[in-house]
Amino acid sequence: MSKLSLTEYLTSSPEVPDIYERATRTEFLSLAGQGRLPSELLSQWLSQDRLYVQAYIRFAGGLISRVNLSARIDGEDASKAMHWRILSLLQTALAGVMRELQFFEEATKKYGLDLDTLGPMAVGFAPNKVTQDYIDLFDSFTAQPQGNPSRTLLDGLVVLWTTEKVYLDAWTYAKQQQQVADEEEDTASDLDGGALRKEFIPNWTSEQFQAFVKECEDCLNAYAAIQVVDTEEVGAATAMSLFKKVLVLEESFWPMVA
């Protein structure tokens, strides 16, 4: 490909900065970082995020099915070694998401949050439209009826990196709002009882999560280089389309704050 890595190519598009800011800097995140997000609204978002996480598990499984492993690691074969590295990344992703589900259960019980709520106007529990769009994207990488066999491992790595990178940057922004508000402020008066500032935000901005996101980026760029993805080719165009699709979904995934 060109001198730019694939992730550099994706983020260098002139259309991206505005979309990216809308996906990672919202009033919801600002209030979350300041302890001013009501428990009810946090519960509504968490209930959707848990559905997202459940679909993510199927997505990761779909990517694992696209990994082409050799019988043994051949240090002279960069492609084979790269597939083993990607498998390790996906194993880490699955282990992390399993911890995340357990973390959801423990934290929501501790702070009296509800993981089965859609809000006062909803009838029954189900994914909202944006969550369903995310689920459909993830499931397009699976073997389910809605799966898309033309989806490649490269496509999946683009989606994986984008979702994780946006999530990290969004909660980092929320953490910055907390610091701006008052670094020494007690969380006892937080509208969610301190759930976000004591539990969720530290979890989603941890050094461990940052390292995982970096490995997602490194694997994507290394695999794209091996695949010789040129920025003028279809592979790069598909990557750009998926990148922007995730950014648009992420913008809408954050609830509107009245």
The confidence score (pLDDT) of residue 14 equals 93
Mean pLDDT rounded to a whole number for the chain: 88
Torsion angles phi and psi, residue 151, rounded to 5: -65, 130
Indicate whether 195 pLDDT > 60: yes
Q: Please report the DSSP string for 183-227 in residue order.
A: TT--GGG-TTTTIIIIIIHHHHT-HHHHHHHHHHHHHHHHHHHHT
- Please write the tens of the pLDDT for every residue from 168-194: 999 999 999 976 555 556 777 899 999
The confidence score (pLDDT) of residue 39 equals 93
The confidence score (pLDDT) of residue 46 equals 93
Q: How confident is the model at residue 7 (pLDDT cuts 50, 70, 90)?
A: very high
Q: Which two tokens stand for residue 211?
A: 């390292």
- Sign for the CA dihedral angle at 53, 113, 106, 178 comes to positive
Q: What is the dihedral of CA 185, 186, 191, 195, to 10 degrees?
A: 110
The whole-angstrom separation of Cα 88 and Cα 75 is 16
- Name the DSSP letter for residue 77: -
User: Average pLDDT of 148-165?
Assistant: 95
The whole-angstrom separation of Cα 14 and Cα 235 is 19
User: CA angle 51-99-130, nearest 5°?
Assistant: 20
The whole-angstrom separation of Cα 45 and Cα 130 is 11
The confidence score (pLDDT) of residue 231 equals 55
Q: Which two tokens stand for residue 97?
A: 């998401």
Q: How confident is the model at residue 63 (pLDDT cuts 50, 70, 90)?
A: very high
Percent of the chain with pLDDT over 90: 73
Using a 10 angstrom Cβ sphere, with 0-12 exposed, 13-18 middle and 19 or more buried, the burial of residue 53 is middle
* Closest CA relative to residue 243, chosen from 19, 71, 18, 1: 19
Indicate whether 77 pLDDT > 60: yes
User: Average pLDDT of 106-120?
Assistant: 79
Indicate whether 3 pLDDT > 60: yes
User: Average pLDDT of 11-35?
Assistant: 95
User: CA angle 195-59-230, nearest 5°?
Assistant: 115
The confidence score (pLDDT) of residue 122 equals 46
User: Average pLDDT of 52-58?
Assistant: 95
Indicate whether 121 pLDDT > 50: no
Q: How confident is the model at residue 1 (pLDDT cuts 50, 70, 90)?
A: very low
Q: For the domain 6-253, what is the CATH code? A: 1.20.910.10
Percent of the chain with pLDDT over 70: 85
Domain ranges of the chain: 6-253
- Please write the tens of the pLDDT for every residue from 200-258: 999 999 999 999 999 999 999 999 988 866 655 656 889 999 999 999 999 999 998 86
